[in-house]
């Protein structure tokens, strides 16, 4: 009795002890759950159809999948024929008219879909026999009509049109073309023209050639009884005539010789679609298949991957950055890393992609990273077993990918055995850092300039230009065409009106400006004074000492720089005079300036006026305000471009002036904040002595 008490007591203590969790410590996992890898039951029909059945009675439903694993086939100038032929399937059978067929499937609450690569159906188990029968009948004895054919053609064309401006549709087409070439089955694409080349006869022929049982698998999963399935399938698929598909071979596409950017201009894009790709020779049965998958997992196949962590979590360039590594038994597979990024960080994102790409090839991954991805793989493997379709998929892979029979039974062991060296070897083999194409689809006028500045391994990264179909083109000209009716006068008038009115501007007799900029921890002061009597003074001071001063008074003038004084020549004098006017626009005429077109400045249209051989000014098309001056000076055989951007316009005595001036010369940028502007006061003749 006493003993009994103690036991109760100790259990009590135990439970209350376990109640005190320490939340500062991450809980450790419990013992690994047991897994139970079943195998589907199988049988083969005389015509070659292989059938797999997974009985699972948890829910009263059944799914059935017919998968035809044919080698890929190029459709050439009839691209789209496979898709068209597939869309003609499912319109009833030779014995059941289309409307009756659709009505019955819907009535039973089921669904069936078809393509030239197979069919899929799902149903409540009580209607399984009938749905299987309908699926088989519509697949083997399809009801092809010319009427449906022309309707599907029209739909396909409208669909193509709907995708014409879709950035991701364009991106995926060009990626394929550049990776595989246009004549390869994986590189060819559909156009309105190729669809129009397809005849009704073509579509029927493709069906006859390709929809055959030689490489076909039927997978039935759910609340069924194996013997019953066997009887039903044998009956319904008995008429499917034994035949093999045509076998064609294509020249194997190769990787590019050097890493490059391949750019496609889509002016409506608000993000750039970046895809870094190279081809790989990888099949599931390769001994280093799992090592390669783990390497890719570390690099970017999940949210914990390096790409996502760097480009999203650290830099916030994108919503998501991932990579895939695909295997393929018929043709090269592909490594691809992708992100949609905002226009302004396109070049930076490319740099980060390349950085990570290089790092995984050149440095071994850490023990911790490898441990983590192994756990991811093991977790996915374990959790996938929740779905009955998983064991069917595994069995199908063993057949179609020529895998050893115990591929999945030894899967966890093989994952566990992978070493850092294995991952490094696979990374070097499959991530071709020196033979990659960086396909970018985006708004050229905003991103190309910076893309051309990217260097890789010490050299400029070549940028090639392509159209939306992957054809090489010359670099597009991003100057915007001028709308009709815009003249020098209209630009000038709009500007003067925007700042406060021509008359008001003309009435200014003097102007005073004080501004400051910070550079290397020091304050740079800018003082400017001007009058309408050809008087001008500009003094730049650092820490209170004059660095550079220019003074013009009528037809005399001088310049001092760090204590040295020099009188201005007649030529220099004229130039300063012409440029020093507060509103030179008052004097612009068709003779003195020219309208050069329109360009995008920070994403907005701006008119471009050439005001001298050295200088152009930009005026915002919408607000009319001056946004930028660009001056080009030739000195000692070099061309130096300096720009001033005008921002933050504020009103002073009824007239708008920019209160933020961004001055850019060579590598330096000064940000002048205007402290004070005075009109018609604070300036005397003595300022210009």
Judged by CB under 8 A, the chain residues 574 through 603 that form the site for other proteins are: 598
Q: 621 vs 683, which CB is nearer to other proteins?
A: 621
**Residue 449 interacts with other proteins (CB under 8 A)?**
no
Residues 6+ apart with CB under 8 A from 549: 537, 538, 539, 540, 559, 560, 561
Angle at 599 between CA 598 and CA 601, to 5 degrees: 135
Torsions phi, psi for 534 (to 5 deg) = 55, 35
Distance CA 261, CA 308 (A): 21
| Options 204-212, 375-383, 522-530, 636-644: segment touching other proteins (CB under 8 A) | 375-383
DSSP readout, 366-395?
PHHHHHHHHHHHHHHHHHHTTSHHHHHHHH
Selected binder of other proteins within 10, 77, 111, 366 (CB under 8 A) = 111
**Residue 154 interacts with other proteins (CB under 8 A)?**
yes
Residues 169-208 that bind other proteins (CB under 8 A): none
Q: 148 vs 585, which CB is nearer to other proteins?
A: 148
| Options 119-127, 208-216, 275-283, 549-557: segment touching other proteins (CB under 8 A) | 119-127
Selected binder of other proteins within 65, 82, 83, 122 (CB under 8 A) = 122
Residues 6+ apart with CB under 8 A from 364: 420, 421, 423, 424
β partners of residue 553: 535, 556
Q: 34 vs 689, which CB is nearer to other proteins?
A: 34
To the nearest whole angstrom, how small is the minimum distance from the Cβ of residue 395 to other proteins?
18
DSSP readout, 559-621?
EEETTEEEEPPHHHHHHHHHHH-S-GGGG--TTT-EEEEEEEETTEEEEEEE-SSSEEEEEET
Residues 603-662 that bind other proteins (CB under 8 A): 605
Q: 312 vs 437, which CB is nearer to other proteins?
A: 312
Identify which of 531, 556, 551 has the alpha carbon closest to the alpha carbon of residue 540: 551
Selected binder of other proteins within 12, 235, 319, 487 (CB under 8 A) = 319
Selected binder of other proteins within 99, 367, 602, 685 (CB under 8 A) = 99
Distance CA 35, CA 430 (A): 32
Helix 444-451 to helix 346-362 angle, to the nearest 10 degrees? Answer: 40
Distance CA 649, CA 513 (A): 14
Helix 420-430 to helix 289-296 angle, to the nearest 10 degrees? Answer: 80
Selected binder of other proteins within 6, 247, 257, 268 (CB under 8 A) = 268
Selected binder of other proteins within 1, 5, 17, 32 (CB under 8 A) = 32
Selected binder of other proteins within 43, 47, 72, 108 (CB under 8 A) = 108
Residues 279-308 that bind other proteins (CB under 8 A): 302-304
Residues 221-260 that bind other proteins (CB under 8 A): 223
**Residue 409 interacts with other proteins (CB under 8 A)?**
no
To the nearest whole angstrom, how small is the minimum distance from the Cβ of residue 156 to other proteins?
10
Q: 256 vs 272, which CB is nearer to other proteins?
A: 272
**Residue 342 interacts with other proteins (CB under 8 A)?**
yes
Residues 472-491 that bind other proteins (CB under 8 A): 478, 480-481, 483
To the nearest whole angstrom, how small is the minimum distance from the Cβ of residue 25 to other proteins?
8
Residues 490-519 that bind other proteins (CB under 8 A): none
Residues 322-341 that bind other proteins (CB under 8 A): 340-341
Give the count of beta carbons closer than 10 Å to the beta carbon of residue 301: 21
How many residues bind to other proteins according to rule CB under 8 A?
90
Selected binder of other proteins within 115, 141, 145, 163 (CB under 8 A) = 163
Q: 387 vs 405, which CB is nearer to other proteins?
A: 387
Selected binder of other proteins within 8, 9, 248, 383 (CB under 8 A) = 383
Selected binder of other proteins within 201, 247, 386, 474 (CB under 8 A) = 386
Q: 5 vs 107, which CB is nearer to other proteins?
A: 107
Identify which of 240, 218, 244 has the alpha carbon closest to the alpha carbon of residue 46: 240
Residues 429-448 that bind other proteins (CB under 8 A): 445
Do you know the residue count of the chain?
A: 689
Pattern 59-88, other proteins, x by CB under 8 A:
xxx---------------------------
Selected binder of other proteins within 1, 3, 17, 26 (CB under 8 A) = 26
Torsions phi, psi for 508 (to 5 deg) = -70, 130
Identify which of 93, 90, 96 has the alpha carbon closest to the alpha carbon of residue 112: 90
Alpha carbon separation from 134 to 63, 95, 100, 236 (Å, rounded): 14, 11, 11, 9
DSSP readout, 162-210?
HTTT-HHHHHHHHHHHHHH-TTSTTT----HHHHHH--HHHHHHHHHHH
Residues 6+ apart with CB under 8 A from 158: none
Distance CA 9, CA 28 (A): 27
CB-count burial class (<10 Å; 0-12, 13-18, 19+) for 41: middle
Selected binder of other proteins within 33, 554, 603, 654 (CB under 8 A) = 33
């Amino acid at each position: 009795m006493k003993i009994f008490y103690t036991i109760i007591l100790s259990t009590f203590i135990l439970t209350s002890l376990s109640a005190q969790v320490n939340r500062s410590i991450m809980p450790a996992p419990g013992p690994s759950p047991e897994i139970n890898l079943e195998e589907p039951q199988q049988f083969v029909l005389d015509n070659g159809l292989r059938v797999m059945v997974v009985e699972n009675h948890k829910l009263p439903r059944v799914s059935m999948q017919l998968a035809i694993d044919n080698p890929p086939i190029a459709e050439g100038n009839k691209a789209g024929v496979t898709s068209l032929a597939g869309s003609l399937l499912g319109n009833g059978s030779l014995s059941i008219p289309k409307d009756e067929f659709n009505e019955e499937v819907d009535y039973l609450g089921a669904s069936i879909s078809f393509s030239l690569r197979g069919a899929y159906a799902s149903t409540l188990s009580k209607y399984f026999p009938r749905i299987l029968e309908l699926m088989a009948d519509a697949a083997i004895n399809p009801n092809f009509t010319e009427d449906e054919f022309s309707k599907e053609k029209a739909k396909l064309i409208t669909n193509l049109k709907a995708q014409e401006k879709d950035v991701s549709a364009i991106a995926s087409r060009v990626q394929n073309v550049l990776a595989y070439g246009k004549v390869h089955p994986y590189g060819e694409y559909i156009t309105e023209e190729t669809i129009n080349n397809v005849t009704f006869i073509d579509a029927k022929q493709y069906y006859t050639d390709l929809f055959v049982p030689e490489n076909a698998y039927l997978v039935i999963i759910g609340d069924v009884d194996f013997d019953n399935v066997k009887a039903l399938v044998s009956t319904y698929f008995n008429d499917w005539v034994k035949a093999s598909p045509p076998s064609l071979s294509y020249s194997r596409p190769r990787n590019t010789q050097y890493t490059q950017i391949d750019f496609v201009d889509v002016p409506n894009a608000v993000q750039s679609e970046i895809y870094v790709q190279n081809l790989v020779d990888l099949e599931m049965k390769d001994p280093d298949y799992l090592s390669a998958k783990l390497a890719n997992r570390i690099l970017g196949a999940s949210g914990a991957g390096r790409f996502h962590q760097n480009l999203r979590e650290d830099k916030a360039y994108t919503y998501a950055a991932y990579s895939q590594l695909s295997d393929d038994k018929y043709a090269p597979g592909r490594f691809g890393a992708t992100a949609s990024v905002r226009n302004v960080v396109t070049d930076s994102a490319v740099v980060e992609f390349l950085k990570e790409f290089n790092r995984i090839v050149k440095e071994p991954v850490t023990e911790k990273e490898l441990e983590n991805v192994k756990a991811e793989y093991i977790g996915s493997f374990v959790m996938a077993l929740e779905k009955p379709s998983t064991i069917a998929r595994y069995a199908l892979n063993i057949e179609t990918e020529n895998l050893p029979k115990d591929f999945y039974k030894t899967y966890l062991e093989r994952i566990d055995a992978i070493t850092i060296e294995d991952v490094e070897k696979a990374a070097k083999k499959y991530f071709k850092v020196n033979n990659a194409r960086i396909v970018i689809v985006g708004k050229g006028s905003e991103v190309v300039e910076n893309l051309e500045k990217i260097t890789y391994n010490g050299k400029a990264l070549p940028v090639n230009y392509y159209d939306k179909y992957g054809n090489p083109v010359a670099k597009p000209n991003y100057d915007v065409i001028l709308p009709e009716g815009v003249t020098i006068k209209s630009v000038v008038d709009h500007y003067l009106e925007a700042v406060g009115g021509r008359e008001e501007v003309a009435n200014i007799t003097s102007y005073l400006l004080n501004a400051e900029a910070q550079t290397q921890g020091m304050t740079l002061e800018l003082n400017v004074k001007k009058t309408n009597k050809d008087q001008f003074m500009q003094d730049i001071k650092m820490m209170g000492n004059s660095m550079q001063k220019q003074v013009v008074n009528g037809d005399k003038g001088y310049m001092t720089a760090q204590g040295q004084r020099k009188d201005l020549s007649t030529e220099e004098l004229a130039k300063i005079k012409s440029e020093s006017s507060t509103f030179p626009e008052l004097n612009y005429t068709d003779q003195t300036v020219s309208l050069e077109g329109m360009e995008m400045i920070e994403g907005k249209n701006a008119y471009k006026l050439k005001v001298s051989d050295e200088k152009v000014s930009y005026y915002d098309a919408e607000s009319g305000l001056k946004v930028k001056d660009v001056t080009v000076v030739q000195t000692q055989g070099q061309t130096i471009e300096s720009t001033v951007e005008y921002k933050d316009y504020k009103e002073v005595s009824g007239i708008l002036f920019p209160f933020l001036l961004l001055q850019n010369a060579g590598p330096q940028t000064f940000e002048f904040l205007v402290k004070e502007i005075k009109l018609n006061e604070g300036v005397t003749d003595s300022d210009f002595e």
